């Protein structure tokens, strides 16, 4: 069994601590806010200048001056603040944003991240990806375990241009939760019904299995979450 995109977001959300300041990338990470456990207060950052990003604006209620870094119309929660790019990247590069959850093209066993330069894409764009990768102390990757063609994305060494070396702390996929440690990859959790060998089979780099490696705690059926079997 593998997790849906929502299942991955649910699993990441469980790990964001109360009071953390979190930057979310596009794609799977953008689903995370709806899955925060009840009563847990986390402040979401958008690099174009928001702390306290709220839900997407309801149709017809968009404010033309309130977008997030993906240029979606969002809302501002009570206690939110707005600021310019210089202060926003002080927050990022200075390590004040405690967590970021981003997508990846490739992650290497030593924590190298490649997520800005897409193979075959002739127009390059880096945006804030490098500043996030160099600046955020708890950099989490949320992605599918393999490419749409079934190739592993967790590699011995990245093939694509690096976003930053040795920056990823933890990887959440549809198959597993994997920590990146000084000794390499450490498999902490597997998707319900999978065993470590099945995860290793889809992972190029060697996995060590954590003492206490267990199945992820993700509900099988739950509003907004669909598990693909």
Which residues are annotated as catalytic?
47
Choice between 95 and 206, CB closer to another protein: 95
Separation between Cα atoms, residue 170 and residue 8, nearest integer Å: 13
How far is C-alpha 48 from the chain's CA centre? 18
* Minimum separation from the CB atom of position 216 to another protein (A): 24
> Which residues from 165-224 bind another protein, rule CB under 8 A?
165
Closer residue to another protein (CB): 93 or 169: 93
Q: Binding to another protein by residue 26, rule CB under 8 A?
A: yes
Q: Does 62 bind another protein (CB under 8 A)?
A: yes
Helix ranges (H only) for the chain are 5-15, 85-93, 129-135, 196-201
82 contacts another protein (rule: CB under 8 A): yes
Instruction: Tell me the C-alpha distance between 157 and 5, whole Å.
Output: 25
DSSP state of 115: -
- Told to check if 36 binds another protein by CB under 8 A, we report no
Stretch that binds another protein, among 15-23, 138-146, 176-184, 195-203 (CB under 8 A): 15-23
- The CA distance from 24 to 45, in Å, is 7
What is the distance between the alpha carbons of residues 208 and 77, in angstroms, rounded to a whole number? 42
Q: Which of 67, 186, 209, 210 binds another protein (CB under 8 A)?
A: 67
- Strands, DSSP E only, in the chain? 21-24, 43-46, 50-56, 74-82, 99-102, 106-108, 113-114, 138-142, 154-155, 170-172, 176-181, 184-190, 207-215, 221-222, 225-226
**Rule CB under 8 A: is residue 38 a binding residue for another protein?**
no
Site size toward another protein (CB under 8 A) is 72
* Interface pick for another protein out of 37, 83, 201, 206 (rule CB under 8 A): 83
Q: How many residues does the chain have?
A: 229
Q: Which is nearer to another protein, 93 or 208 (CB)?
A: 93
Of 71 and 229, nearer to another protein (C-beta) is: 71
41 binds another protein (CB under 8 A): yes
Q: Please, what is the minimum distance in Å from the beta carbon of residue 210 to another protein?
A: 29
37 contacts another protein (rule: CB under 8 A): no
Among 117, 181, 200, 208, binds another protein (CB under 8 A): 117
Position 141 contacts another protein (CB under 8 A): no
User: Bridge-partner residues for 178, per DSSP?
Assistant: 171, 187
């Amino acid at each position: 069994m593998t997790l849906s995109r929502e299942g991955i977001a649910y699993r990441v959300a469980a790990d964001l601590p109360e009071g953390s300041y979190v930057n979310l990338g596009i794609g799977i990470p953008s689903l995370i806010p709806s899955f925060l456990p009840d009563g847990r207060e986390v402040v979401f950052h958008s690099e174009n200048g928001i702390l306290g990003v709220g839900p997407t604006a309801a149709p017809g209620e968009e404010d033309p001056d309130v977008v997030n870094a993906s240029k979606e119309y969002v809302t501002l929660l009570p206690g939110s603040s707005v600021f310019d790019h210089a202060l926003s990247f002080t927050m990022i590069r200075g390590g004040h944003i405690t967590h970021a959850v981003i997508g990846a093209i490739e992650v290497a066993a030593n924590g190298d991240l490649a997520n800005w330069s897409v193979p075959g894409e002739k127009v390059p764009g880096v945006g804030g990806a490098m500043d996030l990768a160099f600046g955020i102390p708890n950099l989490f990757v949320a992605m599918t375990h393999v490419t749409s063609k079934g190739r592993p994305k967790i590699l011995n060494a990245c093939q694509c241009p690096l976003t930053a070396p040795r920056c990823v702390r933890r990887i959440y996929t549809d198959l597993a939760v994997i920590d990146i440690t000084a000794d390499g990859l450490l498999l902490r959790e597997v998707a319900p019904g999978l065993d470590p060998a099945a995860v290793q089979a889809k992972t190029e780099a060697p996995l060590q299995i954590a003492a206490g490696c267990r199945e992820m705690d993700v509900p099988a059926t739950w509003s907004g979450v669909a598990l693909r079997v």
